[in-house]
Amino acid sequence: MTRGQKFCRDALCAPIRLYKRRVSPALGRHCRFTPTCSEYAMEAIQTHGCLKGLLLAVWRIARCNPFGHWGYDPVPPPGRWRSPDRALYPPRAPKH
């Protein structure tokens, strides 16, 4: 990893660490997924680098809402956009 890549990863992870230490404890756990969105974002950035990790994190946060799914949603392995272990939620009820 180059110094520039390390700087970028550290710069993206710093606000997430701050959120986890200062904001999250005051709010309580509300994430619908395991791992939490902040844990997912940190792991995605560390695993996939700045750009792809940030895109994965933003997509995950966008899916974490009352109208979305829930459950186990791990960071995909390097080279993938989706995790083969993604055993999310029971299927939605069919629309009539």
pLDDT tens digits for range 1-14: 799 999 999 999 99
Query: Residue 85 pLDDT more than 70?
Result: no
Q: Which position has the higher pLDDT, 31 or 9?
A: 9
Domain boundaries, the chain: 3-72
Query: Residue 38 pLDDT more than 70?
Result: yes
DSSP letter for each residue of the chain? --HHHHHHHHHHHHHHHHIIIIIHHHH----SEES-HHHHHHHHHHHH-HHHHHHHHHHHHHH-STTS--EE-PPPPTT-SS-TT--BSPPPPPP-
* Residue 86: band (very low, low, confident or very high) from pLDDT cuts 50, 70, 90: low
What's the whole-number mean pLDDT along residues 49-70? 92
